[in-house]
Chain A
Amino acid sequence: MRELLILGGGTAGTMMANKLVRALPDGWRITVVDRDDRHVYQPGLLLLPFGTYTARELARPRGGLLDPDVRYIVSGIHRIVPDERRVVLDDDTILRYELLILATGAHLHPERTEGMLGPGWRRDVFDFYTLEGSEALGARLDAWGGGRVVVNLVDMPIKCPVAPLEFAFLADAFFEERGVRGKTEIVYATPLDGAFTKPVASATLGGMLEARGIELATEFAAESVDGDAGVLRSYDGRELPFDLLVTVPLHGGSPAVVRSGLGDPAGFVPTDRHTLLSRDQDRIFVLGDATDLPLSKAGAVAHFQGDVLLANVLRWIEDRPLLPGFDGHANCFIETGHGKAMLIDFNYETEPLPGRFPLPGIGPFTLLEESHTNHLGKLAFRWVYWNVLVKGQELPMDARMSMAGKWR
């Protein structure tokens, strides 16, 4: 048996295993390793605190999502030893491989910001990037009577970079509907010099914060949290008092990657941006959030990468040259509150532009503009996620970005 080993059974790993099991020639076996058997639909974590979903609706056993012909091992991954083509699991089991796909995602590091895990943690200081954090935050919001909310992302890169902005929009709408918006201040603190990274989108989103009376603190590089005093401090000495801090902790690569010496300073794996092969190892492909690519860490990106990776794994096996097919295509819905959402679509070279998607001129989705259809799209995405995306089915969309229907 020739072994194709996939580390990480999240969005990218599961999708890839299901795609490959149908495409690999006879004689290959696919094994997926993940530390637990709970696959979380992470985009739902944004809506969970506002009561849209319950925690149970967002998690499923990983085993049920993988094709039965894929071998699945539940264990922590300790270390990868590329020179010997083996992976050591936490219980010292050794797995050998001929080809490895790293899909170990991003790891949250609340402990790297001084005081974040201190006295206020999960009392006044919450993250919504984990199921536990998001659920706890929901309970806190449910009991909210007014005060000052600070929404902060510690630093880029983060998964779904618009999520903290969306959180601010949704919180604004939520407080309004609860009749406590008048008694609530909302501050959005970001290390970027605007609401978002790419210029056109940044201007639009910045305007939306202003229209909602959300204060914007830019170039705010969070250094420490004082949970007892309720203060968030930045490296340049600014202080933001809070009653509730909603934070997106620092992200890094998987500790397994770091222990193996395969990561950059943050722990993300240097990856060829077009072929998705590791830049240092010719038997390791990298997919999803684990890469160091200048891209959104998003499920949609993993999906678009999947098509290219599938072709390249088959080429690798047949010893043919790899295709430089990936253009950095990404898109995401941005929830803006009150049942509306925006959609953005972009790649390495082109920033998000207004227009219609996916049909030029028609839509039905509107790019960089709020609409209810977009919101329905975001809700429908959960169904698409469980049934199409992680199952490795095709989506009715080309992996390459089209400029049709976009306005400069």
Chain B
Amino acid sequence: MDAELVARLDALQRRLDYVVERQRWTESLIEEMTPVVREALTAVSGPLAAAEARGWFAAARELGGLADRLVEAYGPDQMHELADHLARIFDTVKSFTRPEVLELAQDAAEVLDHADDVEPMGFSGAIRVMRDAEVQRGVAVALELLRHLGQAHEPGPPRPDAAPVSPGTPPPGVPRPVPRAPAPASAPAPAADEVVTWRGHAFTPEGFLVDPSTWTEELAEQVAQALGIALTEEHWAVLRWARADYLDQGASPNVRRVAAGSQVGIRRMYELFPRTPGKTTAMIAGIPKPVGCV
């Protein structure tokens, strides 16, 4: 057979595979549901966040009782069967007292009710049974739930008796973290009261320089001395590489990266900067604590 024919047969085979694949996995469901769900999310996220910010949920939590009423509607056996996830949702649902939210809860409960043949799952036993059919159904249930959520009306103005306390607001007296200009992701901003001043420079309680741009070689000598390290040219090569890498990357390198980049090797790093070479290097080089990124 000539090569072109083989190639064409091959392409045909793939096209067939693809068609079979498409049928086996019911994409159409997702295709149809996606715009609906996306809309529902957009419609509902904003108002709910606003509601939360205004303290409705916090206020409602104080009132309580709603969940008990909802839970009474189900027998204990049913509740058991519905497993944790229902209880979890009720837990949250109990926060709502507004009528449309109640309606919504009702809908949600109905939707989930149809899921009541989902067994509570022991770890090794039941998940093994969770084959595709169930998982698909799980997705369908979730999507259906979201559709109902999407029908919730936009909340009106806050109720006069709602306490205007947002769970996101710290109690008075606790200073908020200082907002910062865009900074490397790896350096969490210390709260204002968490800064230690040493030799005229601000450090985190762990000993990392707060503002890397205020670093000087003299400061490095002082920090190293305080840590019991006498800096040699070999140390300096490492420190310079780490600092340059931080300035380039916006994130402090970890020990392996410094060892590779400055070509000293990990073993030697432990000799030069004993115990915690990655952190010690960062402390002396005046850059934030290296964190492996999540």
Residues of A within 8 A of B (CB): 47, 50-52, 61, 63-68, 72, 155-157, 161-162, 170, 173-174, 177-178, 191-193, 196-199, 201, 219, 221, 223, 235-236, 250, 264-266, 273, 292-296, 328, 330, 337-340, 344, 346, 348-349, 351-352, 356, 358-364, 366, 371-373, 375-377, 379-380, 382-384, 386-388, 391, 393-398, 402, 404-408
Contact = CB atoms under 8 A, between A and B. Distances in A.
A360 B45 contact: yes
Contact of A388 (B30, B45, B188): B30
Interface in B236-281: 249-251, 254-257, 260-261, 266-267, 269-270, 274-276, 279
Specify the main secondary structure of chain A where it touches its partner.
loop
Contacts of B269: 235
B279 to A, nearest CB: 8
A398 B46 CA distance: 13
B132 A364 contact: no
B149 A362 contact: yes
B63 interface: no
B292 A157 contact: yes
Nearest to A382: B135
A193 B127 CA distance: 34
Given A338-B122, A393-B30, A192 B291 contact: yes
B27 A408 contact: no
B201 interface: no
B92 to A, nearest CB: 6
A155 B254 contact: yes
Interface string B13-51: 011011011000111001101100110110011101101
A256 to B, nearest CB: 19
B260 to A, nearest CB: 4
A148 to B, nearest CB: 21
A177 B186 CA distance: 39
Contacts of A162: 294
Interface residues of B, number: 82
| Most chain B CB atoms below 10 A, which of A64, A196, A406 | A64
A157 B95 contact: no
Interface of B: 11, 14-15, 17-18, 20-21, 25-27, 30-31, 33-34, 37-38, 40-41, 44-46, 48-49, 51-52, 57, 83-85, 88-89, 92-93, 95, 120-128, 130, 132, 135-136, 138-139, 142, 145-146, 149, 167-168, 170, 182, 184-186, 188, 249-251, 254-257, 260-261, 266-267, 269-270, 274-276, 279, 291-294
Given A177-B124, A294-B293, A383-B136, A408 B92 contact: no
Contacts of B149: 359, 362
10 A-B pairs closest in CB distance: A156-B292, A404-B49, A372-B84, A396-B37, A265-B260, A373-B85, A339-B121, A294-B293, A348-B185, A360-B48
Nearest to B266: A235
B123 A371 contact: no
B271 to A, nearest CB: 10
B103 to A, nearest CB: 14
B255 A294 contact: no
B41 A397 contact: yes
Given A349-B185, A364-B89, A408 B293 contact: no
A155 B256 contact: yes
A285 B218 CA distance: 41
B270 A235 contact: yes
A250 B89 CA distance: 40
6 contacts: A63-B17, A339-B120, A360-B48, A379-B130, A379-B138, A405-B48
A379 B135 contact: yes
Contact of A372 (B25, B83, B95, B261): B83
B11 A68 contact: yes
Contacts of B261: 265
B135 A383 contact: yes
Nearest to B11: A68
A386 B25 contact: yes
Contacts of B251: 294
A316 B261 CA distance: 32
A359 B48 contact: yes
